[in-house]
Chain A
């Protein structure tokens, strides 16, 4: 297990390094001078030159890359163009809002997806099962930003049930949760489908297992067999699915934050692009990438701990 964990960790470090390299290439090798892009068309040559020196753009390319690379690994993602604040601080300040949104999305998807999948598996082949199957595919297919806009239109603008803007009053938990309902629905609805399908498939597999047959032979009540013995095992694959899911929810979160005018990393990047705040864009993309890689690492290590076959095939 230790051997596997070390190898897998090494892979994660390598992936983050390559991602940094790709990001560096993208920013510095593509035509267009970052300094003049950042300052806009009215900047004088002297201003551009000053910023270029400040951003280290006058140095040779390999020095620039080394500065970027070594800085990034130690948490130094550079400074904001105008205020001069460290980018890492700016990103970490917004991160809790995005994480809360994703946690809300997971809550929606688990709370609806697991019962639906379980129900479909128990009533295998019935009309209800087919309906759950079609609905699962449908919610996976429809993009989250369409769901966000329609949810905003129906529940905030027309019915006026839920707030449309912001993250709620700071320190007021109830208000913050109310503000979280719609955006997290938009983030999590697609995953209701993934989880329902996953739980259904693994439930069907588990219900055939011998320990379930033994439980039946002992005459245990069917409800107890289903929920206590089958579902607890059938849920396991969902955990690893969520490891990947959180990464994709990061993408949906960008839209949800913009549509519902919530603070968060996605809104931060979007605003940074509009104001040409380069270092913030790179910094935020890098932080979310690291989170994504870490989550996949954790998910893989959990599976590795539970299933020896995964460890040996690595």
Chain B
């Protein structure tokens, strides 16, 4: 089975984003960029499935600027076999990303698409569900456990009330949640090897997909700031305060 793993280049998880003074967006100039952490979990899971013998080939794909090649090299260093970049300098919304991925899935015919549940920049949490809809495939979102069983994948999902297990017919789309695994660090030899792996570059036009945006960002602002309150000296003072607030 072939696994397709879409990965996105985003602001690094440890960087605090700053809103631009003119309210046009978040300042990404000279900011460290990395692979979206949920996508890293997806790459790791794909590699583990191959190590368990459930997958034969892993294809990483990214949609974004030329620099997203670095993100794909990271996926290759973690164990993906080859990579595809759909190159565009334009912002691409989840619906358009899903259409591009559906076109790639039509070419590649994967048995499973494994991807992050959301990107930590736009926090949309849509692309996997949209891709599954366009392909008319089942979807296992927010996965904390993934098992391949004959022609199906058994997915345990993180849901509000606990965890839910569903059985999905293959091919399917699975989106990853935090607890699915802990991604490995790529070793130096693997980083070197990754440089030699195949990386194909296409454009949205090659795939025949219109990526015009549907949403316009009117402005981006800082969230409202909360003011610090009062420090109390001991537990008795805290109890007094809680009583005054009507907690007890």
Question: Does A pair with B?
Answer: no
**Residues of A that sit less than 8 Å from B by CB:** none
**Residues of B that sit less than 8 Å from A by CB:** none
